[in-house]
Amino acid sequence: MSDTPSPKTSSRSLFIAGASFLLLSVPFFVFGLGFLDTKARIELKCERGGPCTHTRVGWLTREAPTTFQLGELQGTRIDRRRSSRGVDESIYRPMLVTTRGDFPIAAHWMEQEKQARSATVSVDRFLGTPGAPGFSMWHDDRPRASRIGVLFTVTATLVMLFGLWLTWRAVRRRGEERRAS
């Protein structure tokens, strides 16, 4: 055994390390909360005789709804695009066609055309039935879209807790240094 005392990290070094980790947690929180608020839930609601509202919702906030009169709605269509996974694979996205442009009915592209078509059939059935009662549908991809946000937010919390622990140790060490001098 050695008679020399174990070297102790100075309080100044611990403060610098603690502050560094606390600052490092900030971008992780910013990106994490940003990803958690991805507007991946899309709601379409129509009253009898109009108007219809199209709203995009995230876990933390929601966008102001876009309101359409029934005369502005022209129908639906399905966008098709090649998947990045394979040459012969396609992905699909249902779209609401209006006089103001096209609005997605689902936040993410779907692998099966049948799934995309079910959303368009419901809207087209409502538009094709004059005097139909109100209509409401939603497509929620928030759990899928927020995985990265959860990872960033958990990482930010762990980094922040480590920074707080280092800062707490620095305060204790500073007290020891003052008592020793």
Report domain extents, the chain: 11-36+147-173, 41-145
The sheet that has 73-82: what strands, in order across it? 73-82, 90-98, 101-104
Q: What is the pTM (predicted TM-score) of this model?
A: 0.70
Average confidence score pLDDT of the chain: 86
Q: With cut-offs at 50, 70 and 90, classify the pLDDT of residue 22.
A: very high
Q: What pLDDT, on the 0 to 100 scale, is given for residue 87? A: 63
75-95 average pLDDT score: 81
By percentage, how much of the chain surpasses pLDDT 90?
31
Question: How far is residue 42's CA from residue 78's CA, in Å, rounded to a whole number?
Answer: 16
Question: How far is residue 26's CA from residue 19's CA, in Å, rounded to a whole number?
Answer: 11
Q: What pLDDT, on the 0 to 100 scale, is given for residue 4? A: 55
**Higher pLDDT pick, 40 / 28:** 28
Question: How far is residue 16's CA from residue 72's CA, in Å, rounded to a whole number?
Answer: 60
**Higher pLDDT pick, 18 / 10:** 18
Q: What pLDDT, on the 0 to 100 scale, is given for residue 85? A: 66
152-159 average pLDDT score: 96
19-25 average pLDDT score: 95
